[in-house]
Structure 1
Amino acid sequence: MNTTNIAIFISGKGSNALNLITYFKNTEQFKICLIFATKENPELERSCAVNNIEFHFSVKNGIELEKDQVQLCTSKSISWVVLAGYLKQIPPSFIALFPNRIINIHPSLLPKFGGKGMYGINVHRAVLAEKESKSGITIHYVTEEFDKGEIIAQYNLDIEEDETLETLETKIHALELHYFPMVLEEVFKKK
């Protein structure tokens, strides 16, 4: 059985990446072999060391960042790139190396509340300001435009009348942790 090598790019706390490491840890078919972070993350770095996953931290931007990403993904024979709270735009030349093989998770029901600057608490604030009755998560392919790629899956929840930023963020994060690994596994198996 061939192993599918996976890279995860993050910019945040890394809780989705930690969850994915745990989920895929004991599978022979799928192996997370690279975590690429744009923010220091000692907890995630320790988890990578324990699980024999390369952890790479970089503060570079633009072409220098892309060169690092291409070199690392090539050296690890990466088949899939997963964006788990990654806030930088993926350059077209990198997308061309992984056509329909870069997947992002977004904390709203796209196309609503997507695009540049719409991430994390910014999304939840906008959802509550618009008095939406539902919110959720979208798992989608990455294209050159922020949050415009083909939707793979969406999961929603009801917004309560007394919903706060904190409660909505907690509920959305629970959806991410529950559904993201399963959806990724299904997509990886199909391709």
Structure 2
Amino acid sequence: MKKIIVFASGSGTNAENIIKYFEKTEIARVVSVFTNNASAKVIERAKNHLIPIEIFSKDDLTERTILHKIQKIDPDLIVLAGFLLKFPENIIEKYPNKIINIHPALLPNYGGKGMYGMHIHRAIVNNKEKETGISIHYVNEHYDEGGIIFQKNVALTDSDTPETVAEKIHELEQKYFPEIIQTILEQ
């Protein structure tokens, strides 16, 4: 059975969705959740599924501490699900094309440092975009610039607010992220 590590910084709805999805398959399991936020809701969600948690500091991430912990697990895939720190090059080099991220917009639009969550949804509404969506991509040394694996769009209306855009994006994330992870693991 293949092993997935999930990195998350916040509420963990995508992380929990991935955990639940793979609990129902024989393909893979989430074997650990890593977070840089000691008060993140993802910790409780992972504990509810008996998934080991690794809480770390930004320094731990850049000083090879986390790389060593990842190497001990030897994952088949590392999934960033609402992880807000820039992923370090030393981990990317050790796991080429084995680290993926989900972004709540259609890249290359609305990507880069500081572009996450409601910041993106507000910008999309303010720019009167007619559509938005999700992008699942490989992680490289630059924010949101790795090769795109999958995109799915959703139409917007003039009455959409940042909150309604967030709801539409969340629905796409919940449906497609686990499916794309499965596809990657089956290749």
Normalising by structure 1, we get a TM-score of 0.92
Over residues 8-35 of structure 1, what are the superposed CA-to-partner deviations in whole Å (9 max), with x where a residue is unaligned? Answer: 0001110000100100013232111010
Residues 1:85 and 2:82 are matched in the alignment: yes
Partner of 1:153: 150
* 38-47 vs 105-114, greater mean Cα deviation: 38-47
Over residues 109-136 of structure 1, what are the superposed CA-to-partner deviations in whole Å (9 max), with x where a residue is unaligned? Answer: 0000000000000111111111110000
Query: 2 CA distance for matches of 1:43 and 1:94?
Result: 25
Residues 1:94 and 2:94 are matched in the alignment: no
Over residues 25-69 of structure 1, what are the superposed CA-to-partner deviations in whole Å (9 max), with x where a residue is unaligned? Answer: 1323211101001123575434433434211122x123x224332
Report percent identity of matched pairs. Answer: 38
Matches within 5 A, 1:31-180: 31-41=29-39, 44-58=42-56, 60-62=57-59, 64-66=60-62, 67-180=64-177
Query: 1 CA distance for matches of 2:41 and 2:84?
Result: 19
Q: 1:42 to 1:150 in 2, by over 3 A?
A: closer
Letter of the aligned partner of 2:32 in structure 1? Answer: L
Partner of 1:24: 22
Query: 2 CA distance for matches of 1:74 and 1:39?
Result: 21
Matched positions, count: 186
* 107-116 vs 37-46, greater mean Cα deviation: 37-46
Query: 2 CA distance for matches of 1:137 and 1:55?
Result: 27
User: Is the CA contact (8 Å cut-off) linking 2:27 and 2:182 kept in structure 1?
Assistant: no
Q: Secondary structure at the match of 1:116?
A: coil
* 78-87 vs 20-29, greater mean Cα deviation: 20-29
* 41-50 vs 16-25, greater mean Cα deviation: 41-50
Normalising by structure 2, we get a TM-score of 0.94
Over residues 88-111 of structure 1, what are the superposed CA-to-partner deviations in whole Å (9 max), with x where a residue is unaligned? Answer: 001111100110000000000000
Letter of the aligned partner of 2:74 in structure 1? Answer: S
Q: Structure 1: give runs of 5+ residues left out of the alignment.
A: none
